Amino acid sequence: MEVQVFSAAPISMEEIIIKKNQDSLIKSIELVTKYLENYKYDDVLSYLKNIHNADIADIIQNLDPVLRLSLLNIVDKNFDPEILTYLNDSLREEIIETLDIKQLANNAKSLDIDDAVDLVEDLEEKDQNIFLENLDKEERTLVQEGLNYPEDSAGRLMQREFVAVEQSWNVGQAIDYLRSNKENLPDDFYDIYLVNNNEVKGVVPLGRLMGSKRQIKLNSIKNKELRLIDVNTDQEDVALLFNKYGLVSAPVIDNQKKIIGSITVDDVVEVIEEEREEDILKLGGVDHTDLYESVISTTKSRISWLIVNLMTAVVASIVIGLFEAAIEQVVALAILMPIVASMGANAGTQTLTVAVRAIAVKELTTSNAIKIITKETFIGGINGMIFAIIISLISIYWFENFMLGLIIGLAMILNLILAGFAGIVIPLILEKLRIDPALASAVILTTITDVFGFLSFLGLATLFLI
């Protein structure tokens, strides 16, 4: 007898790394839990000392609340404020309440200014004042300046430490400067900014600098293009700029075109993740991640959009009620009408998802809107015809009614055409009205496709069947 051996699909290196990290996190949580439950506090501190702050944040988030509080009490004065920058917002607020703000400020001296600003902006006003009062004067001034910039702007995102040298220098002078100023250099930097009277005139990648001969002028090896970021630029636009031009860092300038900071790719990665998460949550009618919030606060944050959904459902029910007599006479209408509405909603959601993403990355603009609207409407029509044929044949066979099959097929085509059109137009209109398309589009689209789906199907049935 021949034996067939089926092998599983090969696991990619990315999947192996992800699984390894997940397994490592689970082991860390189990180990810390074991230490805490057995009161082995020295072992906890010793173990955490060799772990990255991002991993410590993961452990804290996944610990039992009682053990979490116990861990915070053990760490106490040695708590590194950088851990807070990796935590979920709601859990961060909960943990800050258990910490000594003065001690936290004293420990924050090692934080980059952008991380310090990120931390302080989430504190209550009273705690903000205590925190700032306990910082060194120079650091306090920089943090306060950062807080004065608009939220989610380049000013909040930038680091205040960067490497800038005179544009007239050569490679040798720049290297000597770096060697003699080790204490004043950022921990990580990728580019050297060439300045003249604090105005950025060029950017030289660190690798190119180190690979060039000492006598070569910096101006001759600088990048061909200079990408400057205004301090008030929205962080989402900053992320788009980095993604489009493959930047690893970029200088930030004020309204006098003087350099005041630098944004690096690691900061931009955080922005991209934040924006992605925000859009996904808003498409589901949720403003923010509430996994660690209380039942009452989570309920309050979600109830508003559920009320809106209830109102739209009532509108759809009213439309159905207008055709009550037709439904009573032809029971098949009640069985089939959800199909038209749900297909329209699903098709529209596909278009909507593409549209919201395209608007976010500036791929869908007024210049190409007509072309995209036409394309998506046409796609809706094609899909409508395909599924109209399928559902028509099913309906004719099921209910032995040829006219009923034609009616649901026509209603399907009309609703999917509308879904394709509305899925693009709705987010464009909301964008023009300065309303976040990710937050409001889904509810409006579902209402339109439901109401029109019921109206077209039941209306046609009333005209031709009754």
Q: Whole-angstrom Cα distance, residue 194 to residue 223?
A: 11
Over range 133-146, report the average pLDDT. 87
| Domains, the chain, with CATH or none | 15-155 (1.25.60.10), 164-264 (3.10.580.10), 295-464 (1.10.357.20)
* Per-residue pLDDT tens over the stretch 230-286: 999 999 899 989 988 989 999 999 999 999 999 999 888 888 877 776 666 666 655
CA–CA–CA angle 259, 260, 261 (5° rounding): 105
| Alpha helices (runs of H) in 361-436, residue ranges in sequence order | 369-399, 402-432
Q: With 50 as the cut, is the pLDDT of residue 60 above it? A: yes
Q: With 70 as the cut, is the pLDDT of residue 192 above it? A: yes
Name the token pair of 148: 């004065």
Average the pLDDT over each of 89-93, 183-187, 398-402, 452-456 and give the range with the smallest value: 89-93
Q: Whole-angstrom Cα distance, residue 28 to residue 47?
A: 9
Q: Whole-angstrom Cα distance, residue 212 to residue 209?
A: 5
* Per-residue pLDDT tens over the stretch 361-408: 778 887 788 999 999 999 999 999 999 999 999 999 998 899 999 999
The reported pLDDT for the residue numbered 5 is 47
What is the reported pTM? 0.68
* Per-residue pLDDT tens over the stretch 295-312: 666 666 666 666 776 787
The reported pLDDT for the residue numbered 6 is 44
Output DSSP code: residue 214: T
Provide the pLDDT confidence category of residue 201 given band limits of 50, 70 and 90: very high
- Give the sign of the dihedral formed by CA 444, CA 450, CA 452, CA 453: positive
Sequence-ordered list of residues with C-beta below 8 angstroms from that of 187, at least 6 positions apart, any chain: none
Q: Whole-angstrom Cα distance, residue 43 to residue 245?
A: 47
- Decide the pairing of beta strands 249-253 and 259-264: antiparallel
Q: Whole-angstrom Cα distance, residue 300 to residue 292?
A: 14
Rg (CA), the chain: 30
Element spanning 196, H or E = strand 191-196
Is the separation of the CB atoms in 345 and 417 below 8 Å? no
User: How many Cα atoms within 13 Å fall on the side-chain side of residue 104?
Assistant: 23
Name the token pair of 57: 């944040």
Amino acid at 176: D
Q: What are phi and psi of 250, to 5 degrees?
A: -155, 140
Longest Cα–Cα distance in the chain: 93
Over range 420-436, report the average pLDDT. 90
User: What's the CA dihedral at 70, 74, 78, 84 to 10 degrees?
Assistant: -10
Q: With 50 as the cut, is the pLDDT of residue 1 above it? A: no
The reported pLDDT for the residue numbered 131 is 86
Q: Which residue has the tokens 């929205």?
A: 234
Q: Which residue, 170, 165, 156, 216, is CA-closest to 189? A: 165
Mean per-residue pLDDT of the chain: 85
Q: Whole-angstrom Cα distance, residue 135 to residue 131?
A: 7
Over range 335-359, report the average pLDDT. 88
Q: With 70 as the cut, is the pLDDT of residue 54 above it? A: yes
Counts of helices then strands in the chain (DSSP H, E)? 20, 6
CA–CA–CA angle 212, 213, 218 (5° rounding): 65
Q: Whole-angstrom Cα distance, residue 218 to residue 200?
A: 13
Percent of all residues in the chain with a pLDDT value above 70, rounded to a whole number:
89
Pairwise pLDDT comparison (321 vs 458), residue with the higher score: 458
Is the separation of the CB atoms in 251 and 203 below 8 Å? yes
Is the separation of the CB atoms in 348 and 419 below 8 Å? yes
Q: Which residue has the tokens 């979920």?
A: 88
Q: With 60 as the cut, is the pLDDT of residue 110 above it? A: yes
